[in-house]
């Protein structure tokens, strides 16, 4: 009976793709706005697609080379007969190519629809807040549902084609390449997109806002189109590839852990459970999305003075809570269906499915906790952002110092939450025991480890809805830019500003969610690697990774160093590309003074295409070195120092990556929203220059063009490559370390028997 459950993820995955097509169709049928809106939107579309075409051609070349190298290495150096080695090599290589292809496809299609949604959102904003909210959210949902559905379908179909139904203990190890391919593409997509968007953003901000004193998205800024393009290639395509590989790698890792329990019980349900839960998550996310309705949105003119941004955010929050509640129900239903007749035994008179349902609930609660922790550190409602805004009164230096201190502080609460979730889910899973004569190694607690895997599945169940909220951000950002550049009335800009403010919050929340899921999966993927080593060596000592062993210690130190060096390369790449952008914007202002002519009729358009080309070339050149170093480091360590050293690098490198990504994401987000806090007019001082309450009617407002605002722009500029380039790229790097070591474990074992 258990084998029939494989049809659940396949059928739901197909239905999710149909659902995404329906969403895309409903969005693309909307009005595209005035000719002026369409002109700006077309320029953004052409720039985004030109970059993506060039980027994916580069990534495709690298991916084909990587697939050939992996297949050759596995055939030449893995153990077994020639037939066994050939089978492992070609199965892994094909899975790698399919994973890379699906990752690229989901990012490409999702970004296409997102870019096409921006003018439609701007047009909808001329009519109502509710319509603009629905158009932008559903445009973003196309990417969210495609990413999760293609990941789920890819793993499920490969598992079936690779004889998973007849030989479930072998198939998961053959489809590891799918996760590696997804991680490989995601790393370069996130790096390239992040470098592109921040090079354009930094150039537009520093020269436009600070030097030329013109507003954001002003059509006189030569870098404005490149900036708007960057929002899409960084946040849509990049984040889509990131969460695609998250769902793929974590599903495969949980399936590998499930093989151990399949060996003990003879039930393939332990292997299929991650796929079934992902399917439940898609259903929950679709209902959550549809619960956000135009009719439920209170329009600003009927809201008795309420902030339109709060109104929009409330609707998105309702959809998220609906998704989480349904996911909580789904985790218990799925546990009952798959584990209800298991040979495992639960403690305290409770069935195993109850214990694992509770473990999954821990993951769902952690996702909610991460959303609110991230909101605390990146929203202007709370102390951290206001503290940075207040520091801007004394200049850029104190703004940067305050932001760095907030970034370091914001690591503590998330790490405590992750630790509690891991410990509690392990504790709950430990209440499930398996037959003693099953051949399970005595060195591990299989029930507890699987509990952490179930918690990870619980957290990932809301992935489609969270990604929809993330892609909502660049759509609304672009809609605001289109509204500004097409000279729409102030009332329309008020609506797009409100949605843009919400989008900034949702993008920050998604980064928190992304690193939270990566952190929760760290132990899962680490345990899966040890299981793979045991499957080759049959030596339970592989489960003991001893830091007092000199090779393990060296590898661990190298893993931690990789995180810092990789972050340095990513941030430096933004700096170099931004310098070129700044010089180009200054050159255009200097050589063509009519761009800044006082009379509108005397002005000429700047050369937007030149700035787009500078960002494109800079990003594609700069993404290669950090990406190659990230790929080669774990390979070199495992090959030279052995599989246990590879485990040390994986363990400590992952921990360092989690902490560093939290610092970069939340620190950068706090700087960004401190700037927006000031731009919204909430920084107020009394006659003595002391900060007063943001709503104090007697306070002097220090808004746009004030010295405090200029200082906050500098802080935001420092934070940009933190939160949009290095931080998100570390999400991918963490899981890339795991998938590389999983794929090449046979090589490490063969070289160090």
Tens digits of residue pLDDT in 168-177: 888 888 898 8
Quote the distance between the C-alpha of residue 40 and its chain's center.
28
pLDDT score recorded for residue 407: 94
- Give dist(CA 377, CA 711) in Å, integer: 20
Given pLDDT bands bounded at 50, 70 and 90, which one contains residue 521? Answer: confident
pLDDT score recorded for residue 18: 95
pTM: 0.89
pLDDT score recorded for residue 404: 96
- Give dist(CA 490, CA 538) in Å, integer: 70
Backbone angles phi, psi at 329, to 5 degrees: -65, -45
Given pLDDT bands bounded at 50, 70 and 90, which one contains residue 434? Answer: confident
Residues in Cβ contact with 432 at an 8 Å cutoff, skipping those fewer than 6 apart? 344, 345, 346, 347, 352, 355, 356, 447, 450, 451
pLDDT score recorded for residue 138: 93
Across-strand partners of 433?
345
Give the SS3 label for residue 701.
strand
Backbone angles phi, psi at 381, to 5 degrees: -70, -25
Name residue, tokens 């292809």.
Answer: 101
- Give dist(CA 741, CA 730) in Å, integer: 17
pLDDT at 438 over 60: no
Given pLDDT bands bounded at 50, 70 and 90, which one contains residue 456? Answer: very high
| Bigger pLDDT: 15 vs 73 | 15
| Bigger pLDDT: 216 vs 134 | 134
DSSP string, 535-553: HHH--GGGG---TTSHHHH
- Give dist(CA 200, CA 492) in Å, integer: 25
Q: What is the pLDDT of residues 681-723, one digit of tens each?
A: 889 988 888 888 877 888 888 888 889 998 998 998 899 899 8
- DSSP 8-class letter at 345: E
- Give dist(CA 386, CA 683) in Å, integer: 8
Is residue 410 within 8 A of residue 666, CB to CB? The reply is yes
The predicted model gives 369-398 an average pLDDT of 90
- Give dist(CA 14, CA 12) in Å, integer: 5
Of 392, 450, 464, 421, the closest CA to residue 683 belongs to 392
- Give dist(CA 152, CA 279) in Å, integer: 8
Give the SS3 label for residue 220.
coil
- Nearest-5° angle of CA 729, CA 735, CA 736? 80
Q: Choose the weakest-confidence range: 422-426, 455-459, 565-569, 730-734.
A: 730-734
Q: What is the pLDDT of residues 81-116, one digit of tens each?
A: 888 888 889 999 999 999 999 888 877 877 788 888
- Give dist(CA 86, CA 658) in Å, integer: 36
- Give dist(CA 91, CA 162) in Å, integer: 8
User: How many of the other CB atoms lie within 10 Å of CB of 437?
Assistant: 7
Is residue 360 within 8 A of residue 457, CB to CB? The reply is yes
Give the SS3 label for residue 684.
strand
pLDDT score recorded for residue 580: 86
Is residue 37 within 8 A of residue 123, CB to CB? The reply is yes
Is residue 114 within 8 A of residue 236, CB to CB? The reply is yes
Q: What is the pLDDT of residues 206-263, one digit of tens each?
A: 777 777 788 767 788 888 888 888 877 777 777 777 778 888 888 998 998 888 888 8
Q: What is the pLDDT of residues 40-76, one digit of tens each?
A: 888 888 888 888 888 888 889 989 999 999 899 888 8
pLDDT at 598 over 80: no
The predicted model gives 1-22 an average pLDDT of 88
- Give dist(CA 256, CA 471) in Å, integer: 31
pLDDT score recorded for residue 522: 81
Which tokens is 747 given? Answer: 């090589």
Is residue 114 within 8 A of residue 24, CB to CB? The reply is no
| Mean pLDDT comparison of 25-34, 429-438, 648-657, highest-scoring range | 648-657
Which tokens is 421 given? Answer: 């979730």
- Give dist(CA 350, CA 427) in Å, integer: 14
Is residue 588 within 8 A of residue 607, CB to CB? The reply is yes
Of 377, 387, 380, 369, the closest CA to residue 408 belongs to 377
- Give dist(CA 49, CA 52) in Å, integer: 5
pLDDT at 430 over 90: yes
The 3 state secondary structure assigned to 611-634 is: HHHHHHHHHHHHCHHHHHHHHHHH
Q: Are strands 432-433 and 691-692 parallel, antiparallel or unpaired?
A: unpaired
Q: Residue 296: which H helix or E strand, with range?
A: none
Q: What is the pLDDT of residues 487-509, one digit of tens each?
A: 888 888 888 888 887 887 787 78
- DSSP 8-class letter at 598: S
Given pLDDT bands bounded at 50, 70 and 90, which one contains residue 186? Answer: confident
Across-strand partners of 432?
346
Q: What is the pLDDT of residues 287-310, one digit of tens each?
A: 999 999 888 787 777 766 677 777
- Give dist(CA 510, CA 472) in Å, integer: 11
pLDDT at 482 over 80: yes
User: How many residues would you count in the chain?
Assistant: 753
Residues in Cβ contact with 613 at an 8 Å cutoff, skipping those fewer than 6 apart? none
pLDDT score recorded for residue 1: 47
Backbone angles phi, psi at 701, to 5 degrees: -80, 125
The predicted model gives 263-275 an average pLDDT of 89
pLDDT score recorded for residue 220: 84
Name residue, tokens 């959102």.
Answer: 121
pLDDT score recorded for residue 436: 65
DSSP string, 573-590: HHHHHHHHHHHHHHHHHH
CB neighbour class for 701 (10 Å; exposed up to 12, middle 13-18, buried from 19): middle
Q: Quote the percentage of the chain above a pLDDT of 70.
A: 98
Given pLDDT bands bounded at 50, 70 and 90, which one contains residue 2? Answer: low
pLDDT at 538 over 50: yes
DSSP string, 707-743: HHHHHHHHHHHHHHHIIIIIHHHHHHHHHHHHHHHHH
Mean pLDDT of the chain: 88
Q: Are strands 432-433 and 345-346 parallel, antiparallel or unpaired?
A: antiparallel
The predicted model gives 119-129 an average pLDDT of 90
pLDDT at 585 over 80: yes
CA 454 → CA 244, 364, 524, distances in Å?
18, 10, 9
């Amino acid at each position: 009976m258990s084998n029939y459950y494989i049809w659940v993820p396949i059928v739901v995955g197909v239905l999710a793709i149909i659902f995404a097509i329906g969403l895309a169709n409903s969005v693309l049928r909307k009005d595209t706005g005035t000719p002026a809106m369409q002109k700006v939107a077309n320029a953004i579309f052409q720039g985004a697609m030109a970059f993506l075409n060039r980027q994916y051609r580069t990534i495709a070349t690298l991916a084909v080379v990587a697939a050939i190298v992996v297949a050759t290495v596995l055939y030449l150096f893995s153990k077994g007969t020639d037939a066994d080695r050939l089978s492992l090599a070609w199965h892994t290589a094909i899975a790698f190519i399919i994973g890379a292809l699906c990752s690229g496809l989901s990012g490409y299609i999702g970004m296409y629809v997102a870019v096409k949604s921006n003018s439609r959102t701007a047009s909808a904003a001329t009519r109502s807040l509710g319509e603009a909210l629905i158009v932008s959210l559903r445009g973003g949902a196309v990417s969210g549902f495609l990413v999760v559905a293609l990941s789920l379908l890819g793993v499920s179909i490969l598992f079936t084609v690779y004889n998973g139904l007849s030989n479930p203990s072998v198939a998961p190890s053959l489809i590891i390449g799918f996760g590696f391919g997804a991680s490989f593409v995601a790393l370069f997509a996130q790096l390239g997109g992040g470098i592109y968007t921040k090079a354009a953003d930094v150039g537009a901000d520093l020269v436009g806002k600070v030097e030329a004193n013109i507003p954001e998205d002003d059509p006189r800024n030569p870098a404005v189109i490149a900036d708007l393009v960057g929002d899409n290639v960084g946040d849509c395509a990049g984040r889509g590839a990131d969460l695609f590989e998250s769902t793929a790698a974590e599903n495969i890792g949980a399936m590998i852990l499930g093989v151990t329990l399949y060996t003990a019980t003879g039930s393939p349900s332990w292997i299929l459970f991650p796929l079934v839960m992902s399917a439940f998550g898609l259903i929950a996310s679709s209902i959550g999305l549809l619960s956000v309705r135009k009719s439920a949105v209170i329009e600003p003119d009927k809201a008795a003075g309420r902030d339109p941004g709060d109104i929009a955010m409330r609707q998105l929050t309702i959809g998220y809570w609906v998704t989480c509640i349904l996911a909580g129900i789904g985790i218990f239903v799925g546990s009952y269906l798959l584990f209800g007749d298991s040979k495992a035994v639960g403690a305290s008179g409770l069935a195993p499915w109850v214990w694992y349902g509770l473990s999954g609930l821990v993951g769902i609660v952690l996702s909610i906790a991460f959303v609110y922790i991230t909101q605390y550190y990146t929203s202007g409602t709370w102390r951290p952002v206001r503290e940075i805004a207040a520091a801007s009164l004394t200049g850029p230096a104190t703004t940067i110092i305050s932001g760095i201190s907030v970034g370091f502080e914001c690591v503590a609460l998330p790490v405590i939450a992750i630790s509690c979730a891991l410990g509690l889910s392990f504790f709950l899973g430990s209440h499930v025991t398996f037959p003693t004569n099953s051949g399970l190694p005595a060195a591990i607690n299989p029930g507890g480890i699987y509990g952490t895997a179930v918690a990870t599945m619980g957290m990932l169940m809301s992935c489609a809805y969270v990604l929809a909220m993330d892609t909502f951000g660049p759509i609304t950002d672009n809609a605001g830019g289109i509204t500004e550049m097409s000279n729409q009335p102030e009332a329309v800009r008020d609506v797009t500003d409100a949605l843009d403010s919400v989008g900034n919050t949702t993008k920050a929340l998604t980064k928190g969610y992304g690193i939270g899921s990566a952190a929760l999966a760290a132990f899962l993927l680490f345990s899966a690697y040890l299981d793979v080593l045991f499957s080759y060596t049959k030596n339970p000592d592989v489960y003991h990774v001893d830091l007092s062993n000199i090779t393990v210690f060296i590898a661990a130190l190298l893993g931690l160093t990789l995180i810092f060096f990789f972050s340095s390369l990513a941030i430096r790449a933004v700096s170099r590309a931004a310098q070129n952008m700044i010089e180009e914007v200054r050159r255009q202002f200097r050589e063509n003074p009519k761009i800044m002519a006082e009379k509108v009729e005397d002005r000429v358009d700047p050369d937007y295409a030149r700035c787009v080309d500078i960002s494109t070339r800079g990003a594609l050149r700069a993404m290669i070195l950090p990406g190659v170093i990230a790929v080669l480091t774990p390979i070199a360590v495992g090959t030279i120092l052995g599989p246990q050293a590879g485990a040390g690098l994986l363990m400590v490198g992952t921990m360092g990556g989690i902490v560093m990504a939290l610092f970069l994401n939340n620190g950068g987000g706090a700087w960004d929203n401190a700037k927006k806090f000031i731009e919204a007019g909430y920084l107020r001082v009394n006659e003595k220059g002391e900060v007063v309450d943001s709503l104090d009617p007697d306070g002097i407002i220090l808004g746009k063009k004030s010295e405090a605002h200029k200082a906050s722009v500098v802080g935001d500029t420092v934070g940009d490559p933190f939160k949009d380039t290095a931080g998100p790229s570390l999400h991918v790097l963490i899981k890339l370390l795991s998938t590389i070591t999983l794929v090449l474990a046979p090589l490490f074992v063969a070289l160090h028997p």
